[in-house]
Amino acid sequence: MIGWDNLITGSKANLDGLRGHPGFIFREQDITAAVTVEGRLDLVMNLASPASPKDYLEHPIETLEVGSIGSRNLLNLALEKGARYLLASTSESYGDPLVHPQVETYWGNVNPVGPRSCYDESKRFAEAITMAYHRTHGLRTNIARIFNTYGPRMQMDDGRVVPAFLGQALRGEPITVFGDGRQTRSFCYVSDLVDGLIRLSRSEERYPVNLGNPHEMTILHFAEAIQEIIGTRMPIRFHPLPEDDPKLRRPGIGKAQRILGWEPKVAFEDGMRITIQYFRGMLDAVPARG
Ligand code: UDP
């Protein structure tokens, strides 16, 4: 197995458990540059992209390039090697959705020139070029639309709501809720997501499949729930809602249930407890970025 990452938002420390593993090679490389591999390849999984709004707003051009040039490079690699190809796309393909819950047949409500467009349109292009390679070259492709996923090894300061609130609650700081906190998200634990991705990569489904946990809650409720689990009660500080922040998000997972026999297994409290434990351990060790 080969892992490529230019570490624009990731961390090499996340691979510590694989160091010295005879079946794993890591290459610190940007997939927007030419990607070559010696020997056989069975499957190319394209998970490359900044995914946190804070990160992609800081790197809009890199985000557009990795979804377009990077996707094309990995599709060409899969084609050359006769390998299967899986694209990690996103619930952001639905933009600020007008259909709830979001189902794969919904085409979305994306602002093509707003601040989030660098991510949304990059992923929508990545979906389009994946379908084009399938239709033109018969490449065996899959497209996962991943909804909010969390777990150990997220960057504490990546700005997303899970690390933000857990870090604040653990440090005894006020919780920063954007807007009135009535916007919703549905959080999926990482092991469930990985199981879904592996099942999808083995399936014959070429059109997008949602992978996420349909357990939906408001951001305000999420702030209260994690304080309850941690056993703190910090004040809530309300900040302006970022532009184009989706108001409702919950995956319709009927398709994944039907064709992959997949649904999330890890309960919110259980996944959060494991993640809290991880962040507690990291708190003193990791200096804040930027
Ligand atoms: N959010 C928040 N406070 C934070 C970070 C995020 O209230 O410190 C909100 C954000 O406005 C959004 C939701 O939490 O409505 C999820 O944000 P995140 O950045 O995790 O990812 P998104 O789901 O928007 O891609």
CB distance 164 to ligand 1 below 6 Å = yes
pLDDT at 139 over 60: yes
The pLDDT-based confidence of 173 (bands split at 50, 70, 90) is very high
Q: How large is the average pLDDT for residues 216-237? A: 96
pLDDT at 150: 98
Distance 258 CA to ligand 1 centre (A): 30
119 is catalytic: yes
**pLDDT averaged over every residue in the chain:** 96
Ligand 1, from 120, 161, 219: best to mutate by most atoms within 8 Å of Cβ? 161
Ligand 1, from 219, 221, 247, 250: best to mutate by most atoms within 8 Å of Cβ? 219
Q: What is the pLDDT of residues 15-40, one digit of tens each?
A: 999 988 999 999 999 999 989 999 99
The pLDDT-based confidence of 1 (bands split at 50, 70, 90) is very high
pLDDT at 34: 86
pLDDT at 284: 74
Distance 231 CA to ligand 1 centre (A): 22
Domain annotation for the chain: domains and CATH numbers:
2-284 (3.40.50.720)
Half-sphere exposure of 152 (CA within 13 A, CB side): 12
CB distance 53 to ligand 1 below 6 Å = yes
Contacting residues for 200 by C-beta, under 8 A, at least 6 apart: 86, 142, 144, 209, 211, 256, 260, 262
pLDDT at 287: 56
Nearest protein Cα to ligand 1, atom 11: 178
Ligand 1, from 185, 227, 241: best to mutate by most atoms within 8 Å of Cβ? 185
pLDDT at 185 over 80: yes
Rounded distance between C-alpha atoms, residue 40 and residue 102, angstroms: 38
Tell me if the pTM is above 0.85. Answer: yes
Q: How large is the average pLDDT for residues 230-248? A: 96
Distance 155 CA to ligand 1 centre (A): 15
The pLDDT-based confidence of 134 (bands split at 50, 70, 90) is very high
Q: What percent of the chain has pLDDT over 70?
A: 98
Q: What is the pLDDT of residues 77-111, one digit of tens each?
A: 999 999 999 999 999 999 999 999 999 999 999 99
CB distance 200 to ligand 1 below 6 Å = no
| Helix (H), strand (E), coil (C) string for the chain | CEEEECCCCCCHHHHHHHCCCCCCEEEECCCCCCCCCCCCCCEEEECCCCCCHHHHHHCHHHHHHHHHHHHHHHHHHHHHHCCEEEEEEEHHHHECCCCCCECCCCCCECCCCCCCHHHHHHHHHHHHHHHHHHHHHCCCEEEEEECCEECCCCCCCCCCHHHHHHHHHHHCCCEEEECCCCCEEECEEHHHHHHHHHHHHCCCCCCCEEECCCCEEEHHHHHHHHHHHHCCCCCEEEECCCCCCCCCCCECCHHHHHHHCCCCCCCHHHHHHHHHHHHHHHCCCCCCCC
Q: How large is the average pLDDT for residues 198-207? A: 98
Distance 89 CA to ligand 1 centre (A): 18
pLDDT at 290 over 50: no
List the catalytic residue out of 119, 133, 150, 189: 119
The pLDDT-based confidence of 285 (bands split at 50, 70, 90) is confident
